[in-house]
Chain A
């Protein structure tokens, strides 16, 4: 299945900043690539440009060996000729047609003969377990069933590339978990290249082989999910991924360590960092990279426990360090109470350090990532907090 290459793709809508700016992206063959970012970051626009529903203002797009859009050559292949299928966020099922007619529509338009159409519709319906509802109208189906019909309508065309625009956002949390597994299975079975748009970082982390993180129309980082999690290219990427949010702590470089309110994080010997003594840097510490000790010691900082947040599986603590509030995951002290004073130890793995512009000093990939100082460590996008809440309920 084909790789998809975007070269210098820009999209400008009338009277606004560019929705997508100079996007260079190679989506690997047979990958499950997620376009991730807060709303308005240009991820859906990018998807629609690949689909051919939106005309880029500039740039080129290749799907496999074929160039499907090139401004310089004045070429824009019709959406249906690009060999891809798109599942819409709202599903876009035609309410005046039955499930069978919805799924068969594309085959009829392509003048596939009747017997073949029937066979293919029924096969795809069976594989998605909606064969019992073929004669119903879509309004008679539940959200999850409608979702399957939307996917079936696309899969019946046997696309090389499957585009999914926030397909799970209209489902409840439990159904969402099931559909994630289902989509992963579909990806494995069809071998299609999947491009998946979401603002939900957990969805992106659990399903993708690659994530393209976007913000304000600019690509922030393109990497496999765990690399993106472990080595965010800038402060925005660090902040956007992970639940609970990463702790971002400002400190000063002192003799091979970054020190903040008495907490020392060793950085010495790491050639990538190239820190100068006295430089102010931000260090990113995920909750699982922090732990609490009852005894003080070298590099440990005294903190007060502000709240204890057990989730059942894990114990989270909110602790105050100077004027900063950090989230710590530590399962070894179920008896700790609010108000107690304990000692905080940081053991980042790997080290995540950002300069004043917000660029990572430590990430291996995405060294040329855009600066992100303006945002971090601002409040998380609202949508993401909502998704966090839903996860908590699930």
Chain B
């Protein structure tokens, strides 16, 4: 017994201490929430006691489940949003796959000109907030159904856009596909690049035609990446919130995430939590399919690349038209939306697009009830509410990036150093778990978990730190992935050599491990930074008027129809995100694909 205690004391290495600590913390932040959420689906909430006869707040009930699945309104509450979600996720994935895969093939395997420009530009739609395109769509194509002035298209052509085109499933699918096709571009491009040229050359020597080689050799080899992309975009489509909120709201077309939100902040939190459980179950199902179909390959596909390679397909006379088409496409999904948003912010009276109407009122104007929309709000740049929210967003993004970076590094260190042990596997999987939870569901979990004080943990609702915790947990899979990758690159003897020199654990981290993999760690921090900047669904339930963020306040301005403010804010976020991506790429040699991996 005494020997056992002594042995235990001798084995207290930093990695073991970290393992214990992280298991405890992640257990509380990842496992407990799942339980809490399930419990909430069986609990009577304050507003619900009037809907359930004879129930008291806090009672156990199965009424939520009954109403969701078999009640008279279950179609409106649940089945219709579920069907909408599936339709959107399925069609957006197929569309993103076709666009991304086609673009990847053109860039990697043909003699298309302007490849550098194209491959840089093709990532930008993913970096922008997903609902930028939704707002741009509204700006361009909205009709008079939601009141106010019509969009640019109608103003210029005089043709009223039909409802199905302006709002609902169609534009949701299109704009999301345009946001997620870079996944396909990066993952499939990486897979095509990794195909050994000899495999194709052998087929060619055997007399196979180009088409046969593509069909019988290239396609099967890329198939895992194709499935990966499909499942990745599919699961993103399941959980996305901003775009369906902006584009589905005007015609009251709900998907699971928006119905979850409406129920949760409305009078039926129980039903909202059930929607979250269903979304997580679907996430698990997708991952399971991923494992079944792709086998040992994780949905995290490493993107590696060698330079240009021989045997590029000659596009012949199609070379120029295709280049024009691709550049035109990228222009219309990047520059046109941004331009539309920008134009909208400088038009004093909405819907009238001419030079006389030009004004910087919405940027720098005084608060007024008479000018333009007459909102009584000062222009964006002098609006303390908006600027405060933007400041909050930046503060949150920096803090979360740092916390994620450090956590990713430490958990990566622990996982790799204890590799082969149960603890290492458990830690790896625990930190991956949030990946399965749709962010709106994750947000609802944290709402449930921290709304009241539990044991020694105080109620954090309404504080900045709750936002930090939620974001950190949500982006942990990416941060840990980057941390594990970085550590795998460093042989243990590089650290042991420092141990032999007498360097403390902290010195080893600071002087050896961190400098060796700086770029990977910074890439692991860039993604959380960008994600926080544009995060909406995770935080929409957690912010309070006191700690509004740029994205959440944007939604409130949209609700009032004050689009110039919304668009101006989104524009600033887009500029911040794109600038920080480019700057960090130059300064720290970060590679978004490294941190992304899925």
Chain A residues packing against B (C-beta within 8 Å) = 14, 51, 53, 55, 71-74, 76, 78-81, 84-86, 88-90, 92-96, 105-106, 109-110, 153-154, 157
Contacts and interface: CB of A to CB of B under 8 A. Distances in A.
A157 B502 CA distance: 10
A55 B507 CA distance: 22
Interface residues of B, number: 25
Nearest to A84: B500
Contacts of A96: 515-516
A55 B8 CA distance: 11
Contact of A79 (B11, B499, B511): B499
Contacts of B497: 86, 88, 92-94, 153
B10 interface: yes
B500 A90 contact: no
Contact of B491 (A92, A106, A109, A154): A92
A212 to B, nearest CB: 22
B12 to A, nearest CB: 10
B507 A80 contact: no
A93 B498 CA distance: 10
Contact of B507 (A88, A109, A153): A109
Nearest to B516: A96
Contacts of A157: 501
A51 B500 contact: yes
Nearest to B493: A92
A86 B3 contact: no
A198 B548 CA distance: 65
A86 to B, nearest CB: 5
Given A71-B3, A71-B7, A90-B493, A80 B500 contact: yes
A88 B516 contact: no
A85 B500 contact: yes
Contact of B512 (A14, A94, A153): A94
B448 interface: no
Question: Most chain-B CB neighbours within 10 Å: which of A84, A86, A92?
Answer: A92
A118 to B, nearest CB: 17
Contacts of B512: 94
Nearest to A154: B500
A14 B421 contact: yes
B584 to A, nearest CB: 19
Contact of B10 (A76, A88, A94, A105): A76
B503 A95 contact: no
State the 10 A-B residue pairs at the shortest beta-carbon distance, nearest first. A80-B502, A74-B6, A106-B501, A92-B493, A92-B497, A88-B493, A109-B503, A96-B515, A76-B10, A86-B500
Contacts of B10: 55, 71, 74, 76
Contact of B502 (A55, A72, A86, A110): A110
Nearest to A105: B501
Interface in B381-423: 420-421
B503 A92 contact: no
Interface string B468-496: 00000000000000000000000101101
Interface in B1-39: 3, 5-7, 9-11
Contacts of B515: 96
Nearest to A48: B496
A296 to B, nearest CB: 60
A contact face: mostly helix, strand, loop, or mixed: loop
Nearest to B8: A74
B494 A94 contact: yes
Nearest to B504: A109
Contact of B501 (A88, A93, A109): A109
Contacts of A74: 5-7, 9-10
Contacts of A93: 497
Contacts of A106: 500-502
B11 A55 contact: yes
Contact of A92 (B494, B502, B507): B494
Nearest to B7: A71
16 contacts: A74-B7, A78-B502, A79-B500, A81-B502, A84-B500, A88-B496, A88-B497, A92-B491, A96-B516, A105-B498, A105-B511, A106-B502, A109-B498, A109-B502, A109-B507, A153-B501
Contacts of A51: 500
A96 B515 CA distance: 7
A86 B500 CA distance: 7
Nearest to A70: B6
Contacts of A89: 493
Nearest to B5: A74
Nearest to B496: A53
Contacts of B494: 92, 94
A122 to B, nearest CB: 18
B188 to A, nearest CB: 33
Contact of B6 (A71, A92, A105, A109): A71
A45 B532 CA distance: 47
A53 B497 CA distance: 10
Interface string B332-367: 000000000000000000000000000000000000
Nearest to B501: A106
A50 to B, nearest CB: 12
A157 B500 CA distance: 10
Contacts of A14: 420-421
A76 B8 CA distance: 12
Contacts of B3: 71-72
A212 B189 CA distance: 55
B383 to A, nearest CB: 46
Interface in B295-345: none
Contact of A53 (B6, B9, B499): B499
B417 to A, nearest CB: 12
Contacts of B5: 74
A328 to B, nearest CB: 44
B4 to A, nearest CB: 10
Question: Most chain-A CB neighbours within 10 Å: which of B6, B502, B507?
Answer: B502
Nearest to B420: A14
A162 to B, nearest CB: 11
A150 to B, nearest CB: 8
Nearest to B13: A55
Contacts of A90: 491, 493
Nearest to B495: A92
Contacts of A78: 502
A153 B501 CA distance: 9
Contacts of B499: 53, 79-80
A101 to B, nearest CB: 9
Question: Most chain-A CB neighbours within 10 Å: which of B11, B497, B507, B511?
Answer: B497
Question: Most chain-A CB neighbours within 10 Å: which of B496, B501, B515?
Answer: B501
B501 A80 contact: yes
Nearest to B497: A92
A390 B496 CA distance: 31
A73 B10 CA distance: 10
B307 to A, nearest CB: 20
Contacts of A84: 500
Contacts of B7: 71, 74
B197 to A, nearest CB: 28
A109 B510 CA distance: 12
A99 to B, nearest CB: 14
A92 B513 CA distance: 12
A298 B548 CA distance: 106
